[in-house]
Structure 1
Amino acid sequence: MSVSPRRLRAGALALAALAAVSSTAACSAGGSGGNADGGTSKTLTVDTSFVLKTLDPGRVYEATGLTAVHALYETLLTFEGSDVSKPVPALAESYQASPDAKTFTFTLRPGVTFSDGTPLTADDVVFSLNRLKNIKASPAVTVSGLTIDKKDDRTVVVTSATPNPNVPVVLAMPSTGVVNSKVAKANGASDGADAAQGDTAQQYLDTNSIGSGPYVLKAYDPSSQVVLEANPKYWGTKPQFDRVVLRNMDVQTQKLTMQRAGGAEIALDISGKLLDGLPDTLQTSGVQDTVYFLFLNADPAVSKVTSNPAFNQALRAAIDYQGIAALYGKGAAPGAGLVAPAFPGALPAGEASQRDVAKAKALLAGAGLTNPTVKFNYPAITYKGVDLGTVATKVQGDAAEAGIKLELNPQPLTTFLDEMRGGKSPMGFTPQSLNYPVADSLINNMAPGQATALRSGWTVDRADPAVVAAGKKVTDTLDVAARATAMQEWQRAMNASSPYIVLASNSSTVVATSDLTGVDYTPAGWQIDVAAVGRK
């Protein structure tokens, strides 16, 4: 994707964004199972370890906030269920894209109102998107290259400074949710060029919702719970549950709670090996949206060993990918490429890497590498139900069988991140997940010379020209389907010579009681569409 290099949580960003989930033992809101209001059938309870700073759509970036904001504010387009291959209509009943992928014209559906009954118009869309851009908070990067204008009360035109076929995906993200501009302005909101300093609406928007979504905000406590109530003036299909309670709960308590839940309850953080031992009566929904990879430093000044292409390929051949995938538990698979299977452009499962210890030994011998030794950094945390130290130990053992000595160096998360960002780690291990479902955003981070690549000393001069050419082909391709195919070719080139070795892909998972429908996990960013959840 061509708008910005910060559109994915690659490596360090993935860990930093979710560090709180790994370390926080949050309150359990009672932790006794059942609904938070004592079992009322019209209440849906969602248990999750809060990663939450705000419910202001112009500033929301963290997982829990995205889940709530998606229910409070509607966007021009959206995704249904787990399918993120193509945006579908939401506030816009249709849209048209110009052949050069620079101009996108959205036609708003008639009859949409905000929660106070005020009609939603193109002015509200323009204000909301310009406010998002000009506040310059974390999600602003997604629209930084866009210009938003009104053609008439039902028509919005979005123009990209450069060809960008992924604009429709951007406009499905919760941060592009449309606010009631009149109410927003009355409470300190601004869409002007100086909004980064002049907008003072966050405090109001943390405790009041002014959207057109199926729910309105009833209560907000970022340390305990967020309560949503059905919007009585919702223009669309009414949600089945009158009330949704998001409860802050650490993952172990989530598991205990779900084991005895009576009904209408969901947990968002139970994944990997933590799924073991859950009752068969519970439902699970997950897609492989996270990739775990090794990075080898390509700078000889940092490591003469890891910068050697023969060592790179030898280590790739030494790893038992099937065995590593098994460590991640239900829903995991051996690594194929940097694009997780949840997203268009992923490599077929049949192209997953294969182990060949004899090949690894031959590569080392041919390069004159006898018993090469490398310090192997990794964060000493449990991530998505998996102890990363267990995986690192498995990699160490696999490498040893080929004659490679990896010196395990578990580090506190902050230490790992600092050393990684400084480009001084000879070898490391990290997850990667996308902020929104556009796989080609990886080009802006992981291609040679880009931000994540430079942390591994991978400059354009050190890269195979075939990798550079494959990346350029992706960004030059404007057709979305053709771009996904180009992404596959880019990954094959990356597997041949990049400093990244993909180990496995893993699933995020929604666990739900058996009485519910519509409990599909989505890799779109908001985890689950609570308004789509119903009773059987």
Structure 2
Amino acid sequence: MSVSRRRLLAGASALATLAVLSVSACSAGGSGGNANGAAKTLTVNTSFVLKTLDPGRVYEATGLTAVHALYDTLLTFKGSDVSKPVPALAESYQASADATTFTFKLRQGVTFADGSPLTADDVVFSLNRLKNIKASPAVTVSGLTVTKTDDSTVVVTSAAPDPNIPVVLSMPSTAVLNSKVAKEHGARDGADAAQGDTAQQYLDTNSVGSGPYVLKSYDPSSQVVLEANPTYWGPKPQFSRVVLRNMDVQTQKLTMQRAEAAEISLDISGKLLDGLSGSLQTSGVQDTVYFLFLNADPGVSAVTANPKFNQALRAAIDYQGIAALYGKGAAPGAGLVAPAFPGALPAGEESKRDVARAKALLAEGGLTNPTVKFTYPAITYKGVDLGTVATKVQGDAAEAGIKLELNPQPLTTFLDEMRGGKSPLGFTPQSLNYPVADSLINNMAPGQATALRSGWTVERADPAVVAAGKKVTATLDLAGRATAMQEWQRLMNASSPYLVLASNSSIVVATADLTGADYTAAGWQVDVAAVGRK
């Protein structure tokens, strides 16, 4: 199957997301509760990144949060643990030894919000619709075939061995719709669904799922209101109403300073956490990696293509000092896999600074006071101005005799130059859209799409790196694959054009009266149905 789509900020969709995060206007409204603790409403403040609530088309952060509450999937993740999917609509499943066939036994007694029973036909329809309408999330299921053997058994077959299929089927885009109602309003699952499906408008304003909430109102510029599903088959959510409010991050911080009860914010992180009231709770995991990319094409830059320069710049960086710029929840860079995900390098393998070694490496490479243009997007992300980090990198490099010429650019300009593969040296964050770290192989290994934007062909790569990447994808045991990912990253750190600076945390900030307000790297940020009162 195709690799996972990721919020890799070397791609247009992710940078566009960052643009929205940095400039989104706030829209106050609703109430988190009252002073006597009798609140029935949970208020969620977030800077909207929202285009649709149609599960087959949802891809942006705010939409994923809402869809996860409105619909169920075959499997899911509990709390902040993304190491292993747990049962949801499927009470159990079996995987074939070759990781190509997955058989799911559906839970009995599940009904949609309108009271009609959920069957295997609904699962087959929903997954085929996701695949065939060919919207952004369809890439996750493009190589899958879905059938049923009876009303309570679904078989998912992958064209290629892939032990991550259970993770894929935990994502909100694989939500199961009431197929009868969906079809009545234009939903289609056939091969021509990309042209024939007209259900988005209906699904943006009506939910047809079996989740803990149903959709009450939808305004993508202001707020989304959810109400508890009275026929929900699982544990009943404590809050009868959830209001997602569109609010810029600075206003979120001011709002949380005044909040008394039943309120959370999703975008306060990094240095923005400084000065928050000590009574507020925070939950976060390191799910974002920030890295430099050097161009390996000598036609673009003979300096950055020089392996000794690559190694010298790695040795010149003050990783502890850079991590401090990100504030609470950050750490020095280790590997391309953020600590939130299986396959991350263990503690103790963070990069270390050695200025003397950096100078020696430059001399070995015949480089005297090399100068390189350093391009980065002029944005603030997760509470940190990327220009501040770039300036720190510039200063660190200068101590080793490397001159970096800062070249901040608007997002669109940065994207154009990056796509053209003409940046000698760049800087970007990276987050996974769902917890499959080995999807990085299919984009960042030599010869893959992202690598080629840095001129890193198979011919220019260490054969050991190529072999290590192939070993990852050939390993069908997930624990073994995570170990193989670690070895791949160690080899990447030795010679790849990617230089990991730091990992940073996404954070949920919550009032003191709440439980279960845990940030998850699974894609939906927080499970609002799991949030309760102490």
Same fold (TM over 0.5): yes
Instruction: Provide Cα deviations, 1:48-93, integer angstroms capped at 9, x if missing partner.
Output: 0000000000000000000000000000000001100000000000
Instruction: Provide Cα deviations, 1:240-277, integer angstroms capped at 9, x if missing partner.
Output: 00000000000000000000101000000000000000
Aligned to 1:150: 148
Aligned to 1:222: 220
Partners of 1:15 and 1:431 within 8 A in 2: no
CA–CA separation in structure 1 for the residues paired with 2:429 and 2:36: 39
The 3 A distance-change label for structure 1 pair 174 and 132 is: same
Partners of 1:271 and 1:384 within 8 A in 2: yes
Partners of 1:5 and 1:451 within 8 A in 2: no
Aligned to 2:533: 535
Partners of 2:4 and 2:436 within 8 A in 1: no
Aligned to 1:177: 175
CA–CA separation in structure 1 for the residues paired with 2:386 and 2:508: 21
CA–CA separation in structure 2 for the residues paired with 1:25 and 1:38: 33
- CA-CA distance at 1:26 after TM superposition: 1.5
Letter of the 2:76 partner, please give it: T
CA–CA separation in structure 1 for the residues paired with 2:29 and 2:71: 29
- CA-CA distance at 1:421 after TM superposition: 1.1
Determine helix, strand or coil for the equivalent of 2:323.
helix
Residue 136 of structure 1, aligned match among 134, 137, 141: 134
CA–CA separation in structure 1 for the residues paired with 2:468 and 2:14: 28
- CA-CA distance at 1:187 after TM superposition: 0.3
Question: Is residue 372 of structure 2 the alignment partner of residue 374 of structure 1?
Answer: yes
Aligned pairs (5 A) from 1:384-533: 384-533=382-531
CA–CA separation in structure 2 for the residues paired with 1:210 and 1:286: 31
Letter of the 1:194 partner, please give it: D
Aligned to 1:27: 26
Aligned to 2:286: 288
TM-score, normalization by structure 2: 0.98
Partners of 1:6 and 1:445 within 8 A in 2: no
Residue 121 of structure 2, aligned match among 116, 123, 128: 123
CA–CA separation in structure 2 for the residues paired with 1:298 and 1:51: 34
- CA-CA distance at 1:27 after TM superposition: 2.4
Aligned to 1:357: 355
- CA-CA distance at 1:25 after TM superposition: 3.5
Letter of the 2:515 partner, please give it: T
Partners of 2:33 and 2:40 within 8 A in 1: no
CA–CA separation in structure 2 for the residues paired with 1:257 and 1:178: 35
CA–CA separation in structure 2 for the residues paired with 1:162 and 1:517: 41
The 3 A distance-change label for structure 1 pair 141 and 37 is: farther
The 3 A distance-change label for structure 1 pair 6 and 236 is: closer
Tell me whether 35-44 or 288-297 shows the greater mean CA deviation. Answer: 35-44
Letter of the 1:27 partner, please give it: C
Question: Is residue 178 of structure 2 the alignment partner of residue 163 of structure 1?
Answer: no
Letter of the 1:153 partner, please give it: D
Aligned to 1:199: 197
TM-score, normalization by structure 1: 0.98
Aligned pairs (5 A) from 1:31-180: 34-35=32-33, 41-180=39-178
Partners of 1:74 and 1:177 within 8 A in 2: yes
Determine helix, strand or coil for the equivalent of 1:425.
coil
Determine helix, strand or coil for the equivalent of 1:307.
coil
CA–CA separation in structure 2 for the residues paired with 1:131 and 1:15: 25
CA–CA separation in structure 1 for the residues paired with 2:27 and 2:324: 30
CA–CA separation in structure 1 for the residues paired with 2:36 and 2:308: 62
CA–CA separation in structure 1 for the residues paired with 2:34 and 2:28: 8
- CA-CA distance at 1:35 after TM superposition: 4.3
CA–CA separation in structure 2 for the residues paired with 1:26 and 1:66: 20
Partners of 1:437 and 1:524 within 8 A in 2: yes
Partners of 2:29 and 2:245 within 8 A in 1: no
CA–CA separation in structure 2 for the residues paired with 1:15 and 1:113: 36
Determine helix, strand or coil for the equivalent of 1:51.
coil
Aligned to 1:275: 273
Determine helix, strand or coil for the equivalent of 1:502.
strand
- CA-CA distance at 1:10 after TM superposition: 2.1
Instruction: Provide Cα deviations, 1:368-409, integer angstroms capped at 9, x if missing partner.
Output: 100000000000000010000000000000000000000000
Aligned to 2:308: 310
Determine helix, strand or coil for the equivalent of 1:342.
coil
CA–CA separation in structure 1 for the residues paired with 2:2 and 2:91: 28
CA–CA separation in structure 2 for the residues paired with 1:349 and 1:393: 27
Tell me whether 38-47 or 130-139 shows the greater mean CA deviation. Answer: 38-47
Determine helix, strand or coil for the equivalent of 1:406.
strand
Determine helix, strand or coil for the equivalent of 2:82.
strand
Partners of 1:10 and 1:445 within 8 A in 2: no
Residue 211 of structure 2, aligned match among 207, 210, 213: 213
Partners of 2:32 and 2:42 within 8 A in 1: no
Partners of 2:28 and 2:246 within 8 A in 1: yes
Partners of 2:26 and 2:251 within 8 A in 1: no
Aligned to 1:253: 251
Partners of 1:164 and 1:478 within 8 A in 2: yes
Partners of 1:216 and 1:231 within 8 A in 2: yes
Partners of 1:36 and 1:45 within 8 A in 2: no
Partners of 1:516 and 1:533 within 8 A in 2: yes
Partners of 1:58 and 1:176 within 8 A in 2: yes
Determine helix, strand or coil for the equivalent of 2:519.
coil
Determine helix, strand or coil for the equivalent of 2:366.
coil
CA–CA separation in structure 2 for the residues paired with 1:465 and 1:36: 63
The 3 A distance-change label for structure 1 pair 254 and 40 is: farther
Percent of paired sites with the same residue: 86
Letter of the 2:421 partner, please give it: G
What are structure 2's unaligned runs of at least 5 residues?
none
Letter of the 2:189 partner, please give it: D
CA–CA separation in structure 2 for the residues paired with 1:188 and 1:115: 19
Letter of the 1:337 partner, please give it: G
Question: Is residue 322 of structure 2 the alignment partner of residue 324 of structure 1?
Answer: yes
Instruction: Provide Cα deviations, 1:433-457, integer angstroms capped at 9, x if missing partner.
Output: 1010010000001000001101100
Letter of the 1:25 partner, please give it: S
CA–CA separation in structure 2 for the residues paired with 1:237 and 1:364: 61
